Amino acid sequence: MRTKIISMLNFSKLYFILVTLIFFLSSCDSDNNSVAVEINDYSEQLATDNALLVDYLSTHFYNYQDFPRSENKIVSIEIDTISGDNANKIPLIDQVQQISVPLTDANNAIINHTLYYIVAQQGSELERKPTIVDSTYVAYKGELLSGYKFDERVSPVWFDNASVVSGFRYGLQHFAPGTYSVNESGIIRFQDFGQGIIFMPSGIGYYASGLAAIPNYSPLVFSVSVYTTNESDHDNDGILSKNEDPDGDGNPFNDDTDSDGILNFNDIDDDGDGILTYNEYDKDKDGVVDDTDNDGTPDYLDSDS
């Protein structure tokens, strides 16, 4: 019960549960007409959360002296208060990087949330960093700013990044996986994988979702180990999900070419012309996406072609 959110997942149930969860969460996020409970204004909550995060980052440190890991050693990330024997530690705030994560509120306004992260050790396979719509095989620990650990998976699980909360999705993209080998007994050993910490305000976490283990409006801290990654094609239409981004802004969550309410990366007929994308994007199978009328828009996104 401790962690209904993630720890009950196993490989086979993962996708279904995450999709169910995200539908639940996104209905809370963007459609508060259907929820009787009034939820906090996102901008105001963001200001509160960011102040809490900056204070936390300024007063805490992690065991950075254990990184890079010595060979064959597993290192768990531990965060503690800067005080006493640890008074001279470098605070997290001096080590974080930050990015802006867009959140669309009920009025379709975009509110940019600051997400902080630390790469304690970067993975060796830099070209295989997961995008926000790929899959990631990850071990993690989730904590509140109080230090309360609400979830932990020491053995890695697969996540569909497109289906987890956006703070996790945008955080994971900064961590490269490593390599792995399988010994005679079939034991898989991961090496040189990326490891670090993601710090997120509640708006891109679980916000007011009413989960037992996580109080409403909790900023979250996730320590992660990214063991391996996989490119996703959610709708199996032959176009990788990360490439179903015709406006080219790196975000496949704002592309719905035929405006049918199904994002392109989940849409088997992206232009809504009745011809499946799979049957339209490269009819002559020459490896080049077809554009029959040469108007610069490929056939599968061009309803008049």
Distance in Å, CB of 144 to Ca ion, minimum: 33
Q: What are 245's two structure tokens?
A: 């981004």
Residue 264 interacting with Ca ion (CB under 5 A): yes
Distance in Å, CB of 233 to Ca ion, minimum: 4
Cα angle 247-252-255, degrees, rounded to a multiple of 5: 55
Compute the distance between CA of residue 99 and CA of residue 202 in angstroms, rounded to an integer.
15
Helix, strand or coil, per DSSP, at residue 139: strand
Beta pairing, strands 149-160 & 97-104 = unpaired
Distance in Å, CB of 24 to Ca ion, minimum: 24
Q: Which is nearer to Ca ion, 173 or 202 (CB)?
A: 173
Residue 247 interacting with Ca ion (CB under 5 A): yes
Q: Which is nearer to Ca ion, 29 or 235 (CB)?
A: 235
Q: Which of 281, 299, 176 is nearest to 238 (CA)?
A: 281
Three-class SS of 175-238: CCCCEEEECCCCCEEEECCEEEEEEECHHHCCCCCCCCCCCCCCCEEEEEEEEEEECCCCCCCC
Q: Which is nearer to Ca ion, 49 or 237 (CB)?
A: 237
Draw the binding track, 265-284, toward Ca ion (x: CB under 5 A; -: no contact).
Answer: --x-xxx-x-x-x--x----
| Paired strand residues for 199 | 116, 221
Residue 75 interacting with Ca ion (CB under 5 A): no
Stretch that binds Ca ion, among 82-90, 99-107, 156-164, 254-262 (CB under 5 A): 254-262
How many residues touch Ca ion (CB under 5 A)?
A: 19
Draw the binding track, 227-246, toward Ca ion (x: CB under 5 A; -: no contact).
Answer: ------x-x-x-x-----x-
Beta pairing, strands 79-81 & 194-200 = unpaired
Distance in Å, CB of 247 to Ca ion, minimum: 4
Q: Which is nearer to Ca ion, 223 or 257 (CB)?
A: 257
Q: Which is nearer to Ca ion, 209 or 257 (CB)?
A: 257
Distance in Å, CB of 64 to Ca ion, minimum: 35
Of 41, 249, 260, 293, the residue at the interface with Ca ion (CB under 5 A) is 249
Compute the distance between CA of residue 161 and CA of residue 261 in angstroms, rounded to an integer.
20
Distance in Å, CB of 112 to Ca ion, minimum: 16
Residue 289 interacting with Ca ion (CB under 5 A): no
Residue 260 interacting with Ca ion (CB under 5 A): no
Contact 230, 135 (CB under 8 A): yes
At position 142, the amino acid (one-letter code) is G
Distance in Å, CB of 165 to Ca ion, minimum: 19
Q: What share of the chain is helix, strand, coil (3-state, %, to 5)?
A: 25, 25, 50
Q: Which residues would be at the binding site for Ca ion (CB under 5 A)?
A: 233, 235, 237, 239, 245, 247, 249, 251, 254-255, 264, 267, 269-271, 273, 275, 277, 280
